Amino acid sequence: MWRILKQIAGNGIRSEAPPENSDSLRVEGEHMQRELLAILGQALTIRQVDAGSCNGCELEINALNNPYYNIEGLGIKFVASPRHADMLLVTGPVSRNMELALRRTYDATPGPKLVVAVGDCGCNGGIFGESYASCGRVANVIPVDIAVPGCPPPPLEILRGILTAVRRCRVGPE
């Protein structure tokens, strides 16, 4: 126990410390949190769906949970069921074998719902394109609000995409 406490105390709270040579992340993070709270009044719940990615995007989405990005501290939580979700975060070119599962997940998500496609493949099919086994971009299968390019996009870009979708939800006509 002593070692655990020493390790925790020794490292301090990293999510408040700015990353190397830059203060921008912290400022942006705090800014996002204020916006999110103002728009949603509470928290944003996200269901992540891998519809056929190479798993690179998943690694970067997972990184949002690390102490630097501390996404839960911003009021954003990944949930296990689409029925609990405000937003779907979808990666990959949509493989034909995942098309049905993705449609069902979309249908199971209560409205009003947001969809953010993550990664070059989610935006335009990426290097895999469209084929007998790939439907290409996410928008070919379900409606998409925001697409975040990058291969894979770094965590901060994914976070920016999430916030942009939420903002659009506030101003956009239904």
Please give the residue ranges that form the binding site for another protein (CB under 8 A).
3-4, 7-8, 11, 14, 19-20, 48-63, 65-68, 78, 80-81, 92-93, 95-101, 105, 126-129, 131-134, 151-152, 154
Q: Which two tokens stand for residue 56?
A: 């690179």
State the DSSP string of 94-142.
Answer: -BHHHHHHHHHHHHHSPSS-EEEEEHHHHHH-GGG-S-SSB--SGGGTS
Taking each helix axis from N to C end, the angle separating 24-40 and 155-171, rounded to the nearest 10 degrees, works out to 30
Instruction: Quote the least distance from Cβ 74 to another protein, whole Å.
Output: 16
Between residues 54 and 165, which has the closer beta carbon with respect to another protein? 54
Instruction: Quote the least distance from Cβ 56 to another protein, whole Å.
Output: 3
Instruction: Quote the least distance from Cβ 90 to another protein, whole Å.
Output: 11
Q: Yes or no: say if 57 and 118 are a contact pair by the CB < 8 Å rule.
A: yes
Between residues 80 and 171, which has the closer beta carbon with respect to another protein? 80
